[in-house]
Amino acid sequence: MKRLYFIIIGLIISCTVFGQNSAGIEFDTKKHNFGRFKEEAGPQTHKFTFSNTGSSPLIINKVVASCGCTTPEWTKHPIEPGAEGFVAVTYNPRNRPNRFKKTVTVYTNTQPAVHVLVIEGDVIPRELSVEELYRFKAGDVRFKSNHLAFTNIERGKKKIKVMEFINTSDKPAAVDFERVPAHIDIKTKPATLEPGEKGTIQGTYDASKKDDWGYSNDLLRVVVNGETLKNTYFVVSANLVEDFSSWSKEELENAPVFDLESTRYDFGEIKQREKADIEFKFRNSGKSDLIIRKVRSSCGCTSVTPSNTTIEPGESSTIKAVFSAGARKGKQHKVITVITNDPEKSQVSLVVSGTVLVN
Protein backbone atom coordinates (compact mmCIF):
# COMPACT_ATOMS: atom_id res chain seq x y z
CA MET A 1 0.00 0.00 0.00
CA LYS A 2 2.84 2.38 0.88
CA ARG A 3 4.55 1.53 -2.40
CA LEU A 4 1.41 2.41 -4.38
CA TYR A 5 1.15 5.67 -2.42
CA PHE A 6 4.71 6.69 -3.32
CA ILE A 7 4.18 5.78 -7.00
CA ILE A 8 1.11 8.03 -7.20
CA ILE A 9 2.94 10.89 -5.46
CA GLY A 10 5.84 10.47 -7.90
CA LEU A 11 3.55 10.64 -10.90
CA ILE A 12 1.88 13.80 -9.60
CA ILE A 13 5.26 15.45 -9.01
CA SER A 14 6.50 14.39 -12.49
CA CYS A 15 3.40 15.78 -14.19
CA THR A 16 3.68 19.02 -12.23
CA VAL A 17 7.35 19.43 -13.12
CA PHE A 18 6.66 18.61 -16.76
CA GLY A 19 3.83 21.13 -16.87
CA GLN A 20 6.03 23.80 -15.32
CA ASN A 21 8.85 23.16 -17.81
CA SER A 22 6.98 22.84 -21.10
CA ALA A 23 6.33 25.14 -24.04
CA GLY A 24 2.87 26.49 -24.76
CA ILE A 25 1.43 28.08 -27.89
CA GLU A 26 -1.43 30.52 -28.33
CA PHE A 27 -2.38 31.92 -31.76
CA ASP A 28 -4.01 35.31 -32.15
CA THR A 29 -6.46 33.49 -34.47
CA LYS A 30 -6.50 30.15 -36.28
CA LYS A 31 -8.69 31.22 -39.17
CA HIS A 32 -8.39 33.93 -41.83
CA ASN A 33 -10.76 34.93 -44.63
CA PHE A 34 -9.19 36.82 -47.55
CA GLY A 35 -12.65 37.80 -48.78
CA ARG A 36 -13.23 38.34 -52.52
CA PHE A 37 -10.22 39.23 -54.66
CA LYS A 38 -9.30 39.07 -58.33
CA GLU A 39 -7.28 36.19 -59.70
CA GLU A 40 -4.90 38.65 -61.38
CA ALA A 41 -4.11 40.14 -57.93
CA GLY A 42 -1.73 37.23 -57.51
CA PRO A 43 -0.69 35.32 -54.36
CA GLN A 44 -2.29 36.41 -51.08
CA THR A 45 -0.48 36.08 -47.74
CA HIS A 46 -1.67 36.13 -44.15
CA LYS A 47 0.65 35.98 -41.14
CA PHE A 48 -0.70 34.06 -38.15
CA THR A 49 1.11 35.25 -35.00
CA PHE A 50 1.44 33.30 -31.79
CA SER A 51 3.16 33.56 -28.40
CA ASN A 52 4.92 31.01 -26.21
CA THR A 53 2.76 30.78 -23.09
CA GLY A 54 4.94 28.10 -21.50
CA SER A 55 8.16 28.11 -19.53
CA SER A 56 10.43 26.36 -22.08
CA PRO A 57 11.52 27.32 -25.62
CA LEU A 58 8.85 26.66 -28.26
CA ILE A 59 9.94 24.82 -31.41
CA ILE A 60 7.95 24.41 -34.64
CA ASN A 61 9.04 21.05 -36.04
CA LYS A 62 7.25 21.32 -39.38
CA VAL A 63 4.29 22.93 -41.16
CA VAL A 64 2.33 21.01 -43.80
CA ALA A 65 -0.13 22.58 -46.29
CA SER A 66 -3.17 20.69 -47.56
CA CYS A 67 -2.31 21.37 -51.22
CA GLY A 68 0.42 22.71 -53.50
CA CYS A 69 -1.49 25.97 -54.01
CA THR A 70 -0.68 26.95 -50.40
CA THR A 71 2.87 27.75 -49.24
CA PRO A 72 3.78 28.16 -45.54
CA GLU A 73 6.69 30.02 -43.94
CA TRP A 74 7.35 30.08 -40.18
CA THR A 75 9.70 31.04 -37.38
CA LYS A 76 12.55 28.55 -37.63
CA HIS A 77 14.44 29.34 -34.40
CA PRO A 78 13.25 28.40 -30.86
CA ILE A 79 10.85 30.95 -29.37
CA GLU A 80 11.60 31.82 -25.76
CA PRO A 81 8.83 31.93 -23.11
CA GLY A 82 6.75 35.08 -23.55
CA ALA A 83 8.18 35.76 -27.05
CA GLU A 84 6.24 35.73 -30.32
CA GLY A 85 6.58 33.85 -33.60
CA PHE A 86 4.59 33.49 -36.83
CA VAL A 87 3.27 31.13 -39.49
CA ALA A 88 2.78 32.95 -42.80
CA VAL A 89 0.46 31.25 -45.30
CA THR A 90 0.43 32.22 -49.00
CA TYR A 91 -2.35 31.13 -51.36
CA ASN A 92 -1.76 31.21 -55.14
CA PRO A 93 -5.07 31.78 -57.01
CA ARG A 94 -3.61 31.22 -60.49
CA ASN A 95 -6.11 29.07 -62.46
CA ARG A 96 -8.10 28.47 -59.26
CA PRO A 97 -11.24 30.63 -59.52
CA ASN A 98 -14.19 30.67 -57.09
CA ARG A 99 -14.34 29.78 -53.40
CA PHE A 100 -11.55 27.96 -51.59
CA LYS A 101 -10.85 26.66 -48.10
CA LYS A 102 -7.41 25.27 -47.24
CA THR A 103 -5.69 24.08 -44.08
CA VAL A 104 -2.15 24.30 -42.76
CA THR A 105 -1.09 21.88 -40.03
CA VAL A 106 1.53 23.08 -37.53
CA TYR A 107 3.57 20.52 -35.57
CA THR A 108 5.23 21.78 -32.35
CA ASN A 109 6.82 20.56 -29.12
CA THR A 110 3.75 21.62 -27.13
CA GLN A 111 0.86 19.62 -25.74
CA PRO A 112 -1.17 19.17 -27.86
CA ALA A 113 1.47 19.03 -30.58
CA VAL A 114 -0.76 19.55 -33.62
CA HIS A 115 -2.49 22.83 -34.51
CA VAL A 116 -4.61 23.46 -37.62
CA LEU A 117 -4.83 26.87 -39.30
CA VAL A 118 -7.51 27.65 -41.90
CA ILE A 119 -7.51 30.12 -44.79
CA GLU A 120 -10.46 30.75 -47.10
CA GLY A 121 -11.70 33.23 -49.67
CA ASP A 122 -13.37 33.73 -53.02
CA VAL A 123 -11.32 34.25 -56.20
CA ILE A 124 -12.92 36.36 -58.95
CA PRO A 125 -11.93 34.66 -62.24
CA ARG A 126 -9.73 36.60 -64.58
CA GLU A 127 -10.61 37.01 -68.24
CA LEU A 128 -8.91 34.23 -70.18
CA SER A 129 -6.74 35.04 -73.19
CA VAL A 130 -7.53 33.82 -76.70
CA GLU A 131 -4.67 31.31 -76.40
CA GLU A 132 -6.15 29.91 -73.20
CA LEU A 133 -9.69 29.70 -74.57
CA TYR A 134 -8.65 28.26 -77.93
CA ARG A 135 -5.76 25.96 -77.08
CA PHE A 136 -5.26 24.14 -80.39
CA LYS A 137 -3.42 26.17 -83.03
CA ALA A 138 -3.82 25.18 -86.66
CA GLY A 139 -2.10 27.67 -88.93
CA ASP A 140 -3.97 30.99 -88.72
CA VAL A 141 -6.89 29.61 -86.71
CA ARG A 142 -7.30 28.26 -83.19
CA PHE A 143 -9.74 25.59 -81.95
CA LYS A 144 -11.10 25.03 -78.44
CA SER A 145 -9.53 21.58 -78.72
CA ASN A 146 -8.12 19.22 -81.32
CA HIS A 147 -10.53 16.51 -80.15
CA LEU A 148 -14.21 16.22 -81.02
CA ALA A 149 -15.45 13.53 -78.61
CA PHE A 150 -18.88 12.02 -79.26
CA THR A 151 -18.61 9.68 -76.22
CA ASN A 152 -21.29 6.93 -76.41
CA ILE A 153 -23.24 6.46 -79.63
CA GLU A 154 -25.72 3.63 -80.10
CA ARG A 155 -25.18 1.52 -83.19
CA GLY A 156 -27.37 2.71 -86.07
CA LYS A 157 -27.87 6.21 -84.69
CA LYS A 158 -26.45 9.69 -85.35
CA LYS A 159 -25.01 12.26 -82.99
CA ILE A 160 -24.01 15.92 -83.47
CA LYS A 161 -21.26 17.83 -81.67
CA VAL A 162 -20.30 21.50 -82.04
CA MET A 163 -17.02 23.27 -81.25
CA GLU A 164 -15.95 26.92 -81.49
CA PHE A 165 -12.90 28.18 -83.37
CA ILE A 166 -11.48 31.61 -84.18
CA ASN A 167 -9.45 33.28 -86.90
CA THR A 168 -6.50 34.96 -85.15
CA SER A 169 -4.85 36.24 -88.34
CA ASP A 170 -5.24 39.53 -90.21
CA LYS A 171 -6.69 37.87 -93.32
CA PRO A 172 -9.73 35.69 -94.10
CA ALA A 173 -9.42 32.01 -93.26
CA ALA A 174 -11.32 29.09 -94.81
CA VAL A 175 -11.09 25.82 -92.85
CA ASP A 176 -11.63 22.36 -94.28
CA PHE A 177 -10.63 18.77 -93.48
CA GLU A 178 -9.05 15.87 -95.36
CA ARG A 179 -9.29 12.10 -94.81
CA VAL A 180 -12.87 12.39 -93.59
CA PRO A 181 -14.44 8.88 -93.50
CA ALA A 182 -17.98 8.14 -94.67
CA HIS A 183 -19.41 7.92 -91.14
CA ILE A 184 -18.33 11.48 -90.29
CA ASP A 185 -19.71 14.71 -91.74
CA ILE A 186 -17.90 17.85 -90.65
CA LYS A 187 -18.43 21.44 -91.74
CA THR A 188 -17.60 24.95 -90.57
CA LYS A 189 -19.99 27.88 -90.12
CA PRO A 190 -19.30 30.29 -91.69
CA ALA A 191 -17.24 28.66 -94.42
CA THR A 192 -14.77 31.58 -94.30
CA LEU A 193 -13.90 33.56 -91.19
CA GLU A 194 -12.95 37.21 -91.34
CA PRO A 195 -9.96 38.39 -89.22
CA GLY A 196 -10.82 38.02 -85.52
CA GLU A 197 -14.16 36.33 -86.30
CA LYS A 198 -15.41 33.28 -84.40
CA GLY A 199 -17.17 30.32 -85.95
CA THR A 200 -18.27 26.77 -85.20
CA ILE A 201 -17.33 23.32 -86.36
CA GLN A 202 -20.32 20.98 -86.56
CA GLY A 203 -19.56 17.29 -86.67
CA THR A 204 -22.11 14.54 -87.32
CA TYR A 205 -21.24 10.94 -86.50
CA ASP A 206 -23.36 8.30 -88.25
CA ALA A 207 -22.82 5.05 -86.34
CA SER A 208 -24.87 3.10 -88.92
CA LYS A 209 -21.99 3.59 -91.38
CA LYS A 210 -19.28 2.43 -88.95
CA ASP A 211 -18.88 -1.34 -88.78
CA ASP A 212 -17.21 -1.47 -85.39
CA TRP A 213 -17.81 -1.77 -81.65
CA GLY A 214 -16.35 0.07 -78.70
CA TYR A 215 -13.93 3.00 -78.76
CA SER A 216 -12.90 4.27 -82.17
CA ASN A 217 -11.08 7.38 -83.35
CA ASP A 218 -10.30 8.96 -86.71
CA LEU A 219 -7.50 11.41 -87.52
CA LEU A 220 -8.49 14.17 -89.90
CA ARG A 221 -6.01 16.48 -91.60
CA VAL A 222 -6.66 20.22 -91.16
CA VAL A 223 -6.71 22.41 -94.28
CA VAL A 224 -6.55 26.23 -94.01
CA ASN A 225 -6.99 28.35 -97.15
CA GLY A 226 -6.39 25.31 -99.33
CA GLU A 227 -3.12 24.34 -97.60
CA THR A 228 -2.92 20.99 -95.81
CA LEU A 229 -1.10 21.62 -92.54
CA LYS A 230 1.78 19.32 -91.75
CA ASN A 231 1.65 17.31 -88.50
CA THR A 232 -1.70 18.90 -87.60
CA TYR A 233 -4.52 16.45 -86.91
CA PHE A 234 -8.07 16.82 -85.68
CA VAL A 235 -9.28 13.79 -83.71
CA VAL A 236 -12.87 12.54 -83.88
CA SER A 237 -13.74 9.77 -81.42
CA ALA A 238 -16.78 7.77 -80.35
CA ASN A 239 -17.68 4.75 -78.25
CA LEU A 240 -20.02 2.56 -80.28
CA VAL A 241 -22.43 0.75 -77.99
CA GLU A 242 -25.46 -1.50 -78.40
CA ASP A 243 -28.93 -0.14 -77.66
CA PHE A 244 -30.62 -2.39 -75.09
CA SER A 245 -33.30 0.16 -74.15
CA SER A 246 -35.82 -1.32 -76.60
CA TRP A 247 -35.49 -4.86 -75.22
CA SER A 248 -38.65 -6.25 -73.67
CA LYS A 249 -38.80 -7.73 -70.19
CA GLU A 250 -38.89 -11.21 -71.73
CA GLU A 251 -35.83 -10.50 -73.87
CA LEU A 252 -33.89 -9.25 -70.84
CA GLU A 253 -34.89 -12.32 -68.81
CA ASN A 254 -33.63 -14.57 -71.60
CA ALA A 255 -30.48 -12.55 -72.29
CA PRO A 256 -26.97 -14.04 -72.30
CA VAL A 257 -24.82 -13.56 -69.19
CA PHE A 258 -21.06 -13.02 -69.47
CA ASP A 259 -20.00 -14.74 -66.24
CA LEU A 260 -16.25 -14.33 -65.64
CA GLU A 261 -14.28 -16.24 -63.00
CA SER A 262 -12.13 -13.14 -62.52
CA THR A 263 -11.50 -9.81 -64.24
CA ARG A 264 -7.87 -9.63 -63.05
CA TYR A 265 -4.83 -11.75 -63.93
CA ASP A 266 -1.36 -11.43 -62.38
CA PHE A 267 1.33 -13.17 -64.41
CA GLY A 268 3.89 -12.70 -61.63
CA GLU A 269 7.48 -12.01 -62.66
CA ILE A 270 9.09 -12.47 -66.07
CA LYS A 271 12.31 -11.24 -67.60
CA GLN A 272 12.72 -8.78 -70.45
CA ARG A 273 11.96 -10.22 -73.89
CA GLU A 274 10.05 -13.10 -72.31
CA LYS A 275 6.35 -13.75 -72.78
CA ALA A 276 3.56 -14.54 -70.34
CA ASP A 277 0.52 -16.63 -71.24
CA ILE A 278 -2.75 -15.31 -69.84
CA GLU A 279 -6.17 -16.93 -69.68
CA PHE A 280 -9.52 -15.58 -68.52
CA LYS A 281 -12.19 -18.23 -68.03
CA PHE A 282 -15.88 -17.47 -68.36
CA ARG A 283 -19.26 -19.10 -68.79
CA ASN A 284 -22.50 -18.12 -70.44
CA SER A 285 -24.91 -18.52 -67.54
CA GLY A 286 -27.76 -16.87 -69.48
CA LYS A 287 -30.53 -18.29 -71.65
CA SER A 288 -29.41 -17.27 -75.14
CA ASP A 289 -26.20 -17.21 -77.17
CA LEU A 290 -23.44 -14.98 -75.84
CA ILE A 291 -21.63 -13.16 -78.65
CA ILE A 292 -18.12 -11.76 -78.19
CA ARG A 293 -18.35 -8.77 -80.50
CA LYS A 294 -14.85 -7.41 -80.04
CA VAL A 295 -11.72 -7.86 -77.91
CA ARG A 296 -9.14 -5.08 -77.79
CA SER A 297 -5.93 -4.65 -75.74
CA SER A 298 -4.56 -1.34 -74.47
CA CYS A 299 -1.19 -1.81 -76.17
CA GLY A 300 0.50 -3.79 -78.90
CA CYS A 301 2.45 -5.73 -76.29
CA THR A 302 -0.65 -7.84 -75.57
CA SER A 303 -2.22 -10.03 -78.25
CA VAL A 304 -5.68 -11.40 -77.50
CA THR A 305 -7.57 -14.34 -78.94
CA PRO A 306 -11.03 -15.52 -77.84
CA SER A 307 -11.42 -19.31 -78.12
CA ASN A 308 -14.74 -18.77 -79.90
CA THR A 309 -17.03 -15.80 -80.43
CA THR A 310 -20.41 -17.48 -79.96
CA ILE A 311 -21.01 -19.30 -76.68
CA GLU A 312 -24.21 -21.24 -76.15
CA PRO A 313 -26.15 -21.14 -72.84
CA GLY A 314 -24.35 -23.14 -70.17
CA GLU A 315 -21.17 -23.37 -72.25
CA SER A 316 -17.74 -22.30 -70.92
CA SER A 317 -14.91 -20.72 -72.86
CA THR A 318 -11.72 -18.69 -72.47
CA ILE A 319 -10.10 -15.49 -73.63
CA LYS A 320 -6.40 -16.08 -74.10
CA ALA A 321 -3.74 -13.40 -74.26
CA VAL A 322 0.02 -13.22 -74.56
CA PHE A 323 1.98 -10.41 -72.92
CA SER A 324 5.34 -9.70 -74.58
CA ALA A 325 7.72 -7.98 -72.16
CA GLY A 326 10.11 -6.67 -74.79
CA ALA A 327 12.38 -3.99 -73.26
CA ARG A 328 9.80 -2.98 -70.65
CA LYS A 329 10.72 -3.04 -66.99
CA GLY A 330 9.06 -2.78 -63.61
CA LYS A 331 5.36 -2.99 -62.77
CA GLN A 332 3.02 -3.51 -65.72
CA HIS A 333 -0.72 -2.85 -65.93
CA LYS A 334 -2.56 -3.50 -69.21
CA VAL A 335 -6.27 -3.52 -69.98
CA ILE A 336 -8.20 -5.84 -72.29
CA THR A 337 -11.66 -4.59 -73.29
CA VAL A 338 -14.28 -7.21 -74.14
CA ILE A 339 -17.53 -6.17 -75.86
CA THR A 340 -20.46 -8.59 -75.72
CA ASN A 341 -24.23 -8.74 -76.23
CA ASP A 342 -24.83 -9.14 -72.48
CA PRO A 343 -27.09 -6.17 -71.57
CA GLU A 344 -25.53 -5.94 -68.10
CA LYS A 345 -21.91 -6.40 -69.18
CA SER A 346 -21.71 -5.09 -72.71
CA GLN A 347 -18.21 -3.68 -72.07
CA VAL A 348 -15.92 -5.35 -69.56
CA SER A 349 -12.35 -4.38 -68.67
CA LEU A 350 -9.92 -7.20 -67.89
CA VAL A 351 -6.77 -6.13 -66.07
CA VAL A 352 -3.43 -7.83 -66.70
CA SER A 353 -0.60 -7.04 -64.29
CA GLY A 354 2.82 -8.29 -63.34
CA THR A 355 6.48 -7.32 -63.07
CA VAL A 356 9.17 -7.33 -65.75
CA LEU A 357 12.65 -7.92 -64.33
CA VAL A 358 15.70 -6.34 -65.92
CA ASN A 359 18.04 -8.96 -67.34
Q: Which of 124, 157, 186 is the last residue before a domain boundary?
A: 124
Q: What is the pLDDT of residue 8?
A: 43
Q: Tell me if 160 is assigned to some domain.
A: yes
Per-residue DSSP letter, 58: B
Whether pLDDT at 131 is above 60 = yes
Do residues 112 and 135 share a domain? no
Whether pLDDT at 14 is above 60 = no
Q: Which of 221, 241, 261 is the last residue before a domain boundary?
A: 241
Q: Tell me if 15 is assigned to some domain.
A: no
Q: What is the pLDDT of residue 169?
A: 94
Q: What mean pLDDT do residues 221-237 have?
A: 94
Q: Tell me if 10 is assigned to some domain.
A: no
Whether pLDDT at 118 is above 70 = yes
Among 259, 236, 237, 264, smallest CA distance to 321 is for 264
Query: Which of the two residues, 12 and 253, has the higher pLDDT score?
Result: 253
Do residues 87 and 138 share a domain? no
The side-by-side arrangement of strands in the sheet containing 44-52 is 25-27, 44-52, 84-91, 70-74
**Whether 235 contacts 250, CB under 8 Å:** no
Rg of the chain, C-alpha, whole Å: 32
Work out the angle at residue 165's Cα, subtended by the Cα atoms of residues 160 and 169, and round it to the nearest 5 degrees. 155
Residue 20's pLDDT band, with cuts at 50, 70 and 90, is low
The region of weakest confidence among 85-89, 195-199, 298-302, 347-351 is 298-302
**Whether 222 contacts 177, CB under 8 Å:** yes
Query: Which of the two residues, 15 and 252, has the higher pLDDT score?
Result: 252
Whether pLDDT at 3 is above 90 = no
Q: Tell me if 9 is assigned to some domain.
A: no
Q: What is the pLDDT of residue 233?
A: 94
Q: What mean pLDDT do residues 78-105 have?
A: 96
**Average pLDDT value over all residues in the chain:** 92
Q: Tell me if 6 is assigned to some domain.
A: no
**Host H or E run for residue 4:** helix 2-20
Q: What mean pLDDT do residues 14-30 have?
A: 73
Do residues 262 and 312 share a domain? yes
**Whether 130 contacts 195, CB under 8 Å:** no
Whether pLDDT at 281 is above 70 = yes
Do residues 186 and 214 share a domain? yes
Q: Which of 124, 139, 172 is the last residue before a domain boundary?
A: 124
Whether pLDDT at 210 is above 90 = yes
Q: What is the pLDDT of residue 56?
A: 96
Do residues 272 and 297 share a domain? yes
Q: Tell me if 169 is assigned to some domain.
A: yes
d(CA 106, CA 201): 52
The region of weakest confidence among 102-106, 290-294, 304-308 is 304-308
Whether pLDDT at 6 is above 70 = no
Do residues 28 and 116 share a domain? yes
For the stretch 317-328, pLDDT in tens is 999 999 999 999
Other beta carbons less than 10 A from residue 322's beta carbon = 14
Domains in the chain: how many in total? 3
Q: What is the pLDDT of residue 15?
A: 43
Q: Tell me if 332 is assigned to some domain.
A: yes
For the stretch 333-357, pLDDT in tens is 999 999 999 999 999 999 999 999 9
Tell me, yes or no, if the pTM score tops 0.75: no
Whether pLDDT at 265 is above 70 = yes
CATH of the domain at 184: 2.60.40.10
Do residues 343 and 308 share a domain? yes
Q: Tell me if 224 is assigned to some domain.
A: yes
Q: What is the pLDDT of residue 155?
A: 87
Whether pLDDT at 246 is above 60 = yes
Structural domain of 189? 130-241
* Residues whose CB is less than 8 angstroms from the CB of residue 34 and which lie 6 or more positions away in sequence, other chains included: 44, 46, 91, 119, 120, 121
Whether pLDDT at 68 is above 50 = yes
For the stretch 138-182, pLDDT in tens is 998 999 999 999 999 998 899 999 999 999 999 999 999 999 999
Do residues 134 and 117 share a domain? no
Do residues 219 and 202 share a domain? yes
